[in-house]
Amino acid sequence: MNTHTVRTMSTNVWANLDSIPDEDRCIDEGRYEAERTGWDLLESVLLATTRWRLGKDGVLLLEHGTGVTVSLDLLASMIVAVIEDEQHLVMSVNQSGICVAGEGIYHDVPMSDHLTSAVLLGEAGFPITHTPDTLYMLHSTEDLFARMEKDCFSLEERTAATKLLVSYVRQEQGKGPISDQAFRSSQTGDLPPEVELELAYSDLYPKFMPTMDRGGDAMVHQFLDLMLRLTRHMPDEPSPLLHRFLDAHMQMMTPKDQRGIRDGIRTLCEVSRPDLYPLYETADALYQNSWEFDRHHELHQEIVYLPPHLRVGHHEAPADAYANVHEVEDIMMF
């Protein structure tokens, strides 16, 4: 971009921002000055860009290699940042709005810094490891599968490709060749655990556990096999994502199946996989909570529905019904 175009755009943006009354600004003066400082850096980046072009009213446009047009509205992003302290960039792909929030959203990072980061990512072709999941369409499914399946790519790239692939699946509601090919890839057993876990924790999960809705011993064994596959590299400590995966899906099981999962993991810990003990603790806590809930529920049912003279401690009919009136009221309050 030439200097005159960038400076003219900047003048227009800041004229709009300075016209906003102080009482309508949601950010303090220090933050407002930080936005000005960040904007100076953004200007220098815009002067050097070769991929972005400036459209009307402070809108940056980028023709991406996949055939889509990415737009970044600088003016609108700055206005919502000033009057609402909002960190979401005003972006769209082929004129359809996309949700993209700047990193450091809870650390008072200026919007101008987020805009600079977005411009630099576009200049670099949106590297797969730094592409927001909502911009998954900037990478073809063929490229994502290639990165997932080949050892020549780094684990970070393979995990990032899986996350973008999951977004494709969500967009298509788990239907079509994308989800089928993703499942086939995961079944090979050659993917790193982090990559496979991203698939298992996504909307593709039903494909991993087709008997989940029926439960029983078959489901328990299948779930344990999945745990073994996801931890086959025997890391020092199972990842937090795996604990959340276990927590989320065990809560959908019956207490009997929960006990089966817990006992199965405990056996593995004692026989061959002591590194799984943290997962056993998670499974045991879930089962214990379920067992306690069921016991409390049964006790509540007993207290509410049994007449006073049949409850523990009352083996005969009370001599005076009025003598137990307060006891019955207290019980009903429970």
Report DSSP letters for 52-111, one per residue: EEE-GGGEEEEE-TTS-EEEEEHHHHHHHHHHH---EEEEEETTEEEEEE-S-TTTT--H
Distance CA 102, CA 120 (A): 13
pLDDT of residue 315: 47
Distances (CA, A) of 89 to 59, 74, 86, 115, 308: 12, 8, 8, 7, 64
Q: Rounded to an integer, what is the distance from CA 226 to the centroid of its chain?
A: 21
pLDDT of residue 72: 92
Q: Rounded to an integer, what is the distance from CA 326 to the centroid of its chain?
A: 51
The radius of gyration of the chain's CA atoms, rounded to the nearest angstrom, is 29
Distance CA 156, CA 129 (A): 7
Residue 55 CB partners (closer than 8 Å, separation 6+): 61, 71
Distances (CA, A) of 283 to 214, 216, 221, 229, 262: 20, 17, 15, 17, 5
Handedness of CA 124, 130, 133, 134 (dihedral sign): negative
Distance CA 19, CA 288 (A): 61
Q: Which residue's structure tokens are 């684990």?
A: 155
Task: Phi first, then psi: give them for residue 73, nearest 5 degrees.
Answer: -85, 100
* Closest by Cα among 77, 70, 75 to 49: 70
* Closest by Cα among 141, 146, 186, 183 to 164: 141
CA max distance for the chain: 100
Distances (CA, A) of 306 to 237, 258, 301, 312, 322: 49, 30, 8, 10, 18
* Closest by Cα among 268, 261, 179 to 222: 261
pLDDT of residue 266: 93
Model pTM? Answer: 0.69
Taking the CA atoms of residue 176, residue 179, residue 184 and residue 187 in that order, the dihedral angle to the nearest 10 degrees is -150
Residue 189 is given by DSSP the state S
Taking the CA atoms of residue 144, residue 142, residue 186 and residue 170 in that order, the dihedral angle to the nearest 10 degrees is 70
* Closest by Cα among 168, 126, 161 to 146: 161
In terms of Cβ atoms closer than 10 Å to its own Cβ (0-12, 13-18, 19+), residue 317 is exposed
Residues of the chain with pLDDT under 50: 105, 314-315, 317, 334
pLDDT of residue 283: 92
* Closest by Cα among 224, 147, 162, 222 to 193: 162
Contact 134, 123 (CB under 8 A): no
